[in-house]
Structure 1
Amino acid sequence: MKKAVSIFMMLILVIGALAACGPKEEETNTPATGNTEEEAAKPEKLVVWEDKDKSGWLEKVAADFEAEHGIKIEFKEVEMATKMRDQLRLDGPAGTGPDIVTLPHDQIGQVAVEGLIAELNVSDETKALFSESSILAQSYDGKLYGLPKSAETPVFIYNKALMTEVPATMEELYDFAKENTKDGKYGFLALWDNFYFAHAPIGGNGGYVFAENDGALNPQDLGLNNEGAVKGTEYIQKWYSEGLFPNGIIGESGGSAMDGLFNEGKVASVMNGPWAFGAMADAGIDYGVAPFPKFADGTPMKTFMGVKGWHVSQFSKNQEWATKFLEFITNDENAKYRFEQTKEVPTNVALVEDPAIAEDEGAKAVALQTQDAVPMPNIPEMSEVWKPMADALQTVVTGKAEPKAALDSAVEQIKQNIEANHSK
């Protein structure tokens, strides 16, 4: 059956190729595919760049792939967030770069525009292994450029000594905070003057950054001052104006101040991410982790999600086999193994209920929250959003402006920045 399907798909590809013949189709960024009937000649090796201090799991998986296909996997560590992209820009054109890289998804738009990574052509069956939102995060302009490796998003973290169970709704959390904020102690804290965290109530109430249509984001359609965004910002304003959040968690030092209060046992619950778990444990806090309570009408808190992915270099001479390796390392079995070795939470939908994740409270909370999360926009225009929104939120939470006026000003600034820096 699989062979018959493959033959059929090959015929479709041949027909498509014949129909596409002509000078106008001379594109350099052709899709890398891992499911063609006639396999490309096997290379002796594939070169993989993994993030710093994260490559240990590849020893087993690379050996398994080599045993199955006879292709050696050579891997090295390159710091992902800042160095991977820059190194690919240099080594790729020089012919000394990797076949496969890993990147945070908010860099995909820029590297795709630069022609550094190849569009992927994988089956719908492969895509269905992952949450829809994580596949969207790996796409740019409606085209798939990677397969998800892991995801992270803010979750609800609570001190079990101060909160015995997670509130059922955000309204119940607000009531809890009202009752338990006194004498230098707080019921709930969040860095809602920071747009990364503030997107949860803003998006949950109907705001959005850029409109999305069939996987493509429209930077001309901003939803950051619509009715929902204003409502979400008014919700944020309420927590500050009623003294439920201290002045000390506003601004650049807010994160360390909030962490300090929680780790001193002065805060019952916080909005934070998996990156905070280690310090909480070191502080001796018996903490619990859960996805965020929804609003009373069932609307979720739409946290921002970051997705790390695997990508095929546009400069690779082995794109078909590189794609096959991507499919291999992201299948359920190998994604689970990587989680066990790195504790980075995969987006494979079948693994949410797997004991490896289901019995890890923090990992399960992240996995569940990602189902309601929104991928941070990965188009270059997103760089123009952060500062105007931070400025707007800070004027609101410090009582210097009302939500509607602050958001209108931010959106106007964002539009001007996009026009100045991204117009073609």
Structure 2
Amino acid sequence: MLLNSSPHPTNPDCGIPVGIVRRPTTHFVKTIAITLIILLFSTACKKDSPQSGVTTTTQTETITGSGTASTNAEANPPKKTSEPTTLATPTQPPTTTLSKATITLWHSYREEEQAALEQLVAAYNAQGGPVTVEAVPVPYDAFVDKISVTVPRGKGPDLFIFAHNLIGEWASTGVIEPITPWAPPELLKQFIPSTVKALVYEKSLYGLPLAFKSIVLFYNRQITPNPPQTMAEMILAAKAATHPEQGRYGLVVEAAKLYFHAPWLFGYGGSLFDDSESPKVDTQESIAAMQFARRLVRDEGIVPPGLTGFMVASIFSEGKAAFALSGPWFRGEIGKDIDYGVATIPTLDNGAPPKPFLGSEAILLSKMSANKPEAMDFAKFLSSDSSALIRAKVGKQPVANISVYEHPDVQADPMMAVFKAQAQNAVIMPASPAMQAMWSTYDAALQKTLFGDTEPSQALADAQTKITADVSRLRR
């Protein structure tokens, strides 16, 4: 930890300064004088200047939230350099003695991710300490509502796992607790910096990062042996694989969701907010992105309408889709008999790389938990390097821990390298409360354009009006 403290300026060696002239006098006077001088400078040595704040030193890595990293990203372990992230000074140091308690953890993991989490919970409980953890799976579609309703009433979990994009709203409404007191700089150094940065809201840290997630291109090798390098190649292969009468499609994706539309939106230079953080969704670049998405659905006919996440997984697992756009969680949902690969999303027709959202998935602390120190003990365990290795190997997660990518087993997983490469061309999801006014309205605009008759320019103009009004009311 870097503190704004230093030795007294006049005694850098904590000794009596050179140059003091002692005048001849009696033995008694000399003794008194020397004693006073020693006491004076001994006292000065013990003084520290006031601490004005705490600066955590994290490590810079090629995965950033700006989306400006090189398109030729490699999957080598992150390079370590220093980049300061300033957090608010902790005012209540955490308790070091743990009490006997049962901690409830909510999550929406499935398949391999759930298996890895349950393995780690069992390992933690087997240590025989005073804290026991109970992991409770909650369906993803109901997760946000359950947290928002139960936690303020004191009936929710102590800890829960979710992406960072709601921390602004949850912090503002008293759902989550800042964990800055439990997160010294030495702890944060183990994580990829962008995963920590995403969890900072108004100079307080809300959660410890577990994984970073963005969508990539999954392809069925039995239909398309090699991944396409350009969007033109992908569309050509997808059209050849599309036979709606047989229930076969070129590309399966939740096309009318902003989260899955983001690669086109940011790839074409579109935006959600301007430099002043005001909503700005009706730019020409955003219109071009929506026109491209509409082309995939209506003109090329390679994307079926009305897909949910479950339907995307089912169609791809049945071998009835050449391509799918999804995230690392998708690996655990694909049928075991499907020969598939993953690749970064192909270059757009404007020559730019698509830029999906980058999410920092974290373990968050409930504001209403009666056992915060005990809960944070498990949070540190789950986010540690040793636990992250299990989550990477068993759960197939692109974990936030830097050292894990130096492990031979992780380096041997070519898919993990793809997720890291795609993350270098990704945009951190905004976590401000204003972003929550964006999702449903933008989704509605996509639905009206992709599967309705509304032109992209009109749909986005209508969305701009509604989102602006909603954000204005939110900020009053």
TM range, smaller chain: 0.7 to 0.9
How many Å separate the matches in 2 of 1:62 and 1:391? 45
How many Å separate the matches in 1 of 2:305 and 2:130? 51
How many Å separate the matches in 1 of 2:445 and 2:226? 34
**CA distances 1:17-75 after superposition (whole Å, capped 9, x unpaired):** 8xxxxxxxxxxx976589x8xx85523357543335634303434667x8xxxx63321
Aligned match of 2:269: 206
User: Is 1:107 aligned to 2:151, yes or no?
Assistant: no
Question: 1:48-197 alignment to 2 at 5 Å?
Answer: 48-51=103-106, 54-61=117-124, 72-79=130-137, 81-82=143-144, 83-84=146-147, 86-91=149-154, 98=158, 100-115=159-174, 116-120=176-180, 122-124=183-185, 126-181=187-242, 185-197=248-260
User: Is 1:268 aligned to 2:304, yes or no?
Assistant: no
**CA distances 1:117-157 after superposition (whole Å, capped 9, x unpaired):** 12525455544433344223322234321111234332211
Inter-CA distance 367–140: structure 2 relative to 1 (3 Å threshold): same
User: Is 1:230 aligned to 2:287, yes or no?
Assistant: yes
Q: Greater Rg, structure 1 or structure 2?
A: 2
Residue number among 411, 416, 423 corresponding to 1:370 in the alignment: 423
Bigger fraction of residues in helix: 1
- Does the CA-based 8 Å contact 2:4-2:51 persist in structure 1? no
Inter-CA distance 375–86: structure 2 relative to 1 (3 Å threshold): farther
In the alignment of these two chains, the number of paired residues is: 387
Q: Classify the secondary structure of the residue corresponding to 1:208.
A: coil
- Cα RMSD (Å): 3.9
Aligned match of 1:304: 357
Inter-CA distance 313–8: structure 2 relative to 1 (3 Å threshold): farther
Residue number among 323, 328, 333 corresponding to 2:386 in the alignment: 333
Aligned match of 2:346: 293
How many Å separate the matches in 2 of 1:392 and 1:139? 30
Inter-CA distance 259–142: structure 2 relative to 1 (3 Å threshold): same
- Give the letter aligned to residue 262 of structure 2: H
Q: Classify the secondary structure of the residue corresponding to 2:279.
A: strand
Aligned residues: percent identity? 24
Inter-CA distance 183–43: structure 2 relative to 1 (3 Å threshold): closer
Query: What TM-score, normalized by structure 1, do the two folds share?
Result: 0.75
Inter-CA distance 193–316: structure 2 relative to 1 (3 Å threshold): closer
Give the drift of 1:311.
3.1
Q: Which runs of 5+ in 1 are unaligned?
A: 18-28, 213-217
Question: After the TM superposition, which of the residue ranges 228-237 and 53-62 deviates more from structure 2?
Answer: 53-62
Q: Classify the secondary structure of the residue corresponding to 1:16.
A: coil
Inter-CA distance 260–321: structure 2 relative to 1 (3 Å threshold): closer
Q: Classify the secondary structure of the residue corresponding to 1:281.
A: coil
Inter-CA distance 293–316: structure 2 relative to 1 (3 Å threshold): same
- Give the letter aligned to residue 58 of structure 1: V
- Give the letter aligned to residue 165 of structure 2: D
How many Å separate the matches in 1 of 2:256 and 2:314? 18
Give the drift of 1:163.
0.8
- Give the letter aligned to residue 269 of structure 1: F
Aligned match of 2:447: 394
Give the drift of 1:6.
7.7
Question: 1:21-32 alignment to 2 at 5 Å?
Answer: none
How many Å separate the matches in 2 of 1:91 and 1:142? 26
Give the drift of 1:203.
1.6
Q: Classify the secondary structure of the residue corresponding to 2:325.
A: strand
Inter-CA distance 140–261: structure 2 relative to 1 (3 Å threshold): same
Inter-CA distance 47–152: structure 2 relative to 1 (3 Å threshold): farther
Q: Which runs of 5+ in 2 are unaligned?
A: 8-46, 54-86, 108-113
Query: What TM-score, normalized by structure 2, do the two folds share?
Result: 0.68
Aligned match of 1:15: 51
Give the drift of 1:166.
1.0
How many Å separate the matches in 1 of 2:49 and 2:426? 35
User: Is 1:408 aligned to 2:444, yes or no?
Assistant: no
- Does the CA-based 8 Å contact 1:352-1:358 persist in structure 2? yes
